[in-house]
Amino acid sequence: MDLISVEKALETILAESVDFGTEEVNFIDSVGRVLKETILADRDFPPFDRVSMDGIAICSKSFEKGQRTFKIEGIQAAGSAQLTLDNTINCIEAMTGAMLPKNTDAVIQYELTETTKNVVSLKTDDVNYYKNIHKQGSDYKQGSPLLAKNILISAAEIGVLASVGKDKVLVAKQPKICIISTGDELVEVQETPMQYQIRRSNVFTLVALLKRLNLSADTMHIKDDKTVLYQKIKQVLNEYDVLLFSGAVSKGKFDFIPEILDELGVQKLFHRVNQKPGKPFWFGKKGVKKVFAFPGNPVSTYVNCLKYFYPWYQKSIGLNIEQPTAILASDFEFKGSTTYFLQVKIDNKKGHLIAYPLTGNGSGDLINLTFADAFLELPSVQNNFTKGESFPLISYR
Amino acid sequence: MDLISVEKALETILAESVDFGTEEVNFIDSVGRVLKETILADRDFPPFDRVSMDGIAICSKSFEKGQRTFKIEGIQAAGSAQLTLDNTINCIEAMTGAMLPKNTDAVIQYELTETTKNVVSLKTDDVNYYKNIHKQGSDYKQGSPLLAKNILISAAEIGVLASVGKDKVLVAKQPKICIISTGDELVEVQETPMQYQIRRSNVFTLVALLKRLNLSADTMHIKDDKTVLYQKIKQVLNEYDVLLFSGAVSKGKFDFIPEILDELGVQKLFHRVNQKPGKPFWFGKKGVKKVFAFPGNPVSTYVNCLKYFYPWYQKSIGLNIEQPTAILASDFEFKGSTTYFLQVKIDNKKGHLIAYPLTGNGSGDLINLTFADAFLELPSVQNNFTKGESFPLISYR
């Protein structure tokens, strides 16, 4: 048997990661993409001495001299040019977000004042220099790097991009992906199958799994006809960067895919991995084009996409994802020297991720995937897995 | 002061959840939506005795009688009508996914056979009845409920929907949301601000936070002019189900929003919550229309959207999300009887979620949000938080 280990399979796949380059997108469309430029502060953060409470701005020297009532000279609104306090015994009302008026250096919030006509009396004896003022450049100086390359853009980064005026942003380009089903037993979702037929489902599961990565893909179905398969796959290999197959890589008489891929110059890097489920997994390449041919069983396709395609894609776009782990809730036994992907339901108990086994009815059991929310990767070198031990977690929710 | 507690604020908001009804969408577009119908098995799972290994199908009686060589009568392909084994001393080749041929009840995989011309010899003495056959209805019987109402549709559920032929599926309808910024200090992202101006960013952060919920929203900016504000907000209240404001709810002279909302018949349910950051948060309603008016500071808006809008929306669409927790990595002190939302970086250590404090430069520090990945909610009744204690976790990545 030409079985390879899960570790070797993953290593082989990661060695085939591909840099698909970069592209510019509107910043608001960059959520979920990977940043490919360093974002610098275009000016100081904050860009001016910024009032951070609504109140009155005074010159603290006057306060220190014992002054407690201040005549209002004017109002400094947010979004207005800086006013100047003409006489330092007076004050200027100042709003949150406004520039601190010239000749003032302290802001006392309204809650600590009382205003009669045009005069404000302080109800506090505690006024510090630069209180309620967010000082210019105190967070970041102009030119400081704010966001590094190769981070995944979330809502937090969107705020930064907007602040520094990056309305266009450079992100990792995404590969063109085609997901292909084969098999004459498959009919479309809206069709009523004959007794011996079933509906196509794995391609859509894969589409949805890729959507979690913010990736879109085209889909295609090809009949079990060698000539047609050859022509169509040849064409798809030309047009796409990555091909994902579901099914048609086991040892059956009608499983032509490995043979056709060989004829088309796609080099097999491995076929069949020492794992359960998902063993008859085929992976190959033709230059920068990569072919992931997953087994046909729903759970096999599912776990292999998560275990192999996900990290391949993440490495390709420059993302470094740490491997999470979870703690086994009960003893579990799996015989044989095979990596076992155990379906589990995760419960967060006081910060501990507890994994409850949900074995289901095997690799054909699509429904069990909906009860579980992750796989626990149980290593091949072990047969008895003890409650409390932690193992790598492959989560899909 | 009219401060209310975080617990009371959340309770008030959750009591205002709204059922926005249902709508039908294409199943492939239902990823991330909430299912609003029970999905039943349209037929048995599997729908027929399904061959689960490529090999030969035989009548096990012949095997039991000692027979070890079988003449091939034909090939049963996946997706073909059921064949019949004419003579039970013969066999039929059968492919994975195919119907089990009539008069056969065992499949021996190719790996355990040897074929010479038209005759197959077995290399095994271990043939069990229904080995390598996935029996009809063994997973689920026709009519069984497969997916329950009110679950979040992920890739696993997409596979089930496809399998049972649900090309259209009933999901929770989403509210129409408008995110509104106000303040004359704000300019557009592509503009170069004057010294006293800054770019709009909170609305885009909110757009991105809503996108995490699979929600889209319109955005709008309104100048600090009372008449314009009144007219525009009146119009938005008419057209949208939910209004999210950023800024303009503190005590400043130009913060007209609470006043205008009052004039427009929006009932204030609370204003100002005993929390840091995010205190000047205003929440109100006009019938089924809800208004979340967040404070203007970036971190305040951010945490309030996660803490209040998220659970309100999830309850509205029928989702029941369990509150995750994480474990404090080091001792932390926060004085005052105020709920504190501590920014943290989460590390998964052998299944334990460890939260490392990253306090940053306060509620104006947008950049710190990009270093952290969650907030830890530290209760108001406590001042000293000890390493190893677990607290509610509000994650945003």
CB–CB of B366 and A160 under 8 A? yes
> In this structure, what is the dihedral angle of CA atoms A120, A121, A127, A131, given to the nearest 10 degrees?
-30
The pLDDT, as a whole number, for residue B32 is: 96
pLDDT of residue B1 exceeding 60, the answer is no
Q: Supply angle C-alpha A35, A38, A41, rounded to 5.
A: 120
Instruction: Kindly state whether residues B152 and B181 are assigned to the same domain.
Output: no
Is residue B155 situated within a structural domain? yes
* Cβ atoms of residues B272 and B1 within 8 Å: yes
Residues of B in contact with A324 (CB under 8 A): 348
Instruction: Kindly state whether residues A168 and A178 are assigned to the same domain.
Output: no
Q: Shortest CB distance from B185 goes to which of A78, A204, A253?
A: A78
Going by pLDDT thresholds of 50, 70 and 90, the confidence category of residue A252 is low
Is residue B312 situated within a structural domain? yes
For tokens 């520094």, what's the residue? A164
CATH number for B156: 3.90.105.10
Domain boundary among A294, A316, A338: A316
d(CA B375, CA B369): 9
The whole-number average pLDDT for the span A41-64 is 93
Burial of B11 (0-12, 13-18, 19+ CB in 10 A): exposed
Burial of A121 (0-12, 13-18, 19+ CB in 10 A): exposed
Q: How confident is the prediction for chain A on average, in pLDDT?
A: 94
**Which residue of B lies nearest to A368 if distances are taken between CA atoms?**
B156
Instruction: Please give the full DSSP string across A238-297, using - where no structure is assigned.
Output: HH-SEEEEES--SS-TT--HHHHHHHTTPEEEEE-BSEES--S-EEEEETTEEEEEE-SS
Is residue A139 situated within a structural domain? no
CATH number for A381: 2.40.340.10
Domain boundary among B316, B339, B364: B316
The pLDDT, as a whole number, for residue A366 is: 86
Q: B68-73: list long-range contacts, CB under 8 Å, 24+ apart.
A: B68/B121, B68/B122, B69/B119, B69/B120, B69/B121, B69/B122, B70/B119, B70/B120, B70/B122, B71/B118, B71/B119, B71/B120, B72/B115, B72/B118, B72/B119, B72/B120
For tokens 């470094």, what's the residue? A320
Shortest Cα distance, chain B CAs vs residue A266, angstroms: 25
The pLDDT, as a whole number, for residue B342 is: 97
Pick among A348, A354, A390 to test the B interface (most B CBs inside 10 A): A348
CB–CB of B353 and A353 under 8 A? yes
Q: What does the block give as tokens for A371?
A: 């009860």
Within its chain, how far is the Cα of A74 from the centroid?
A: 49
Pick among B367, B369, B376 to test the A interface (most A CBs inside 10 A): B367
The pLDDT, as a whole number, for residue A79 is: 85
| Residue pLDDT, tens place only, A286-342 | 999 999 999 888 999 999 999 999 999 999 999 999 999 999 999 999 998 999 999
Pick among A50, A100, A158 to test the B interface (most B CBs inside 10 A): A158
Is residue B66 situated within a structural domain? yes
Residues 6 or more apart whose Cβ sits within 8 Å of residue A173: A20, A21, A22, A23
pLDDT of residue B376 exceeding 90, the answer is yes
CB–CB of A369 and B139 under 8 A? no
Q: Which residues of B135-165 are buried (b: 16+ CB within 10 A; e: fewer)?
A: ebbbbbeeeeebbeeebbbbbbbbbbbbbbb
Q: What does the block give as tokens for A182?
A: 């084969």
For tokens 């003449």, what's the residue? B71
Instruction: Kindly state whether residues B166 and B232 are assigned to the same domain.
Output: no
| Residue pLDDT, tens place only, A363-377 | 678 899 999 999 999
Instruction: Kindly state whether residues B259 and B242 are assigned to the same domain.
Output: yes
d(CA A372, CA A374): 6
Instruction: Kindly state whether residues A259 and A297 are assigned to the same domain.
Output: yes
Q: How many helices (H) and strands (E) does chain B have?
A: 9, 28
The pLDDT, as a whole number, for residue A97 is: 85
Instruction: Kindly state whether residues B37 and B56 are assigned to the same domain.
Output: no
CATH number for A126: 2.170.190.11
How many distinct structural domains can be found in chain B? 4
Is residue A143 situated within a structural domain? no
* Residue A15 CB neighbour total at 10 angstroms: 10
Going by pLDDT thresholds of 50, 70 and 90, the confidence category of residue B184 is confident
Instruction: Please give the full DSSP string across B194-261, using - where no structure is assigned.
Output: PTT-EE--HHHHHHHHHHTTT---EEEEE-S-HHHHHHHHHHHHHH-SEEEEES--SS-TT--HHHHH
* Paired strand residues for B50: B99, B134
The ipTM value here is 0.93
Going by pLDDT thresholds of 50, 70 and 90, the confidence category of residue A185 is confident
| Cα B108 to Cα A191, A309, B88, B120, B159, distances in angstroms | 32, 32, 15, 10, 29
Shortest Cα distance, chain B CAs vs residue A192, angstroms: 8
Is residue A220 situated within a structural domain? yes
* Residue B268 CB neighbour total at 10 angstroms: 15
| Residue pLDDT, tens place only, A350-362 | 999 999 999 877 7
The pLDDT, as a whole number, for residue B366 is: 85
Pick among A138, A153, A194, A254 to test the B interface (most B CBs inside 10 A): A254
Chain A 282-341, CB below 8 Å of chain B: which residues? 296, 298, 302, 322, 324-327
Q: Shortest CB distance from B208 goes to which of A158, A250, A364?
A: A158
Instruction: Kindly state whether residues B337 and B196 are assigned to the same domain.
Output: no
Task: Express the helix, strand and coil content of chain A in percent, nearest 5 each.
Answer: 20, 35, 45
Burial of B320 (0-12, 13-18, 19+ CB in 10 A): exposed
Instruction: Kindly state whether residues B178 and B267 are assigned to the same domain.
Output: yes
* Residue B116 CB neighbour total at 10 angstroms: 8
d(CA A283, CA A273): 10
Is residue A243 situated within a structural domain? yes
- Enclosing domain of residue B390: 325-395
Q: Shortest CB distance from A54 goes to which of B81, B251, B372?
A: B251
- Out of A39-43, A200-204, B128-132, B204-208, least confident range: B128-132
CB–CB of A157 and B370 under 8 A? yes
Q: How confident is the prediction for chain B on average, in pLDDT?
A: 94
Domain boundary among B134, B161, B185: B134
Q: What does the block give as tokens for A127?
A: 């006024």
| Residue pLDDT, tens place only, B284-297 | 999 999 999 998 88
Going by pLDDT thresholds of 50, 70 and 90, the confidence category of residue B274 is very high
The pLDDT, as a whole number, for residue A1 is: 53
Which amino acid would we find at residue A48?
F
d(CA A8, CA B178): 51
Instruction: Kindly state whether residues B38 and B58 are assigned to the same domain.
Output: no
The pLDDT, as a whole number, for residue A363 is: 67
d(CA B121, CA B68): 6
Instruction: Kindly state whether residues B257 and B338 are assigned to the same domain.
Output: no
Residues of A in contact with B139 (CB under 8 A): 361, 364-365, 367
Q: Shortest CB distance from B96 goes to which of A296, A324, A366?
A: A296
Shortest Cα distance, chain A CAs vs residue B355, angstroms: 9
> In this structure, what is the dihedral angle of CA atoms A380, A386, A388, A390, given to the nearest 10 degrees?
0
Instruction: Kindly state whether residues B244 and B286 are assigned to the same domain.
Output: yes
Q: What percentage of chain B reaches a pLDDT higher than 70?
A: 97
The pLDDT, as a whole number, for residue B126 is: 80
Instruction: Kindly state whether residues B389 and B252 are assigned to the same domain.
Output: no
Is residue A286 situated within a structural domain? yes
Within its chain, how far is the Cα of B255 from the centroid?
A: 36
The pLDDT, as a whole number, for residue A321 is: 94
Which amino acid would we find at residue A376?
L
* Paired strand residues for A343: A375
CB–CB of A196 and B48 under 8 A? yes
Higher pLDDT, A80 or B21: B21
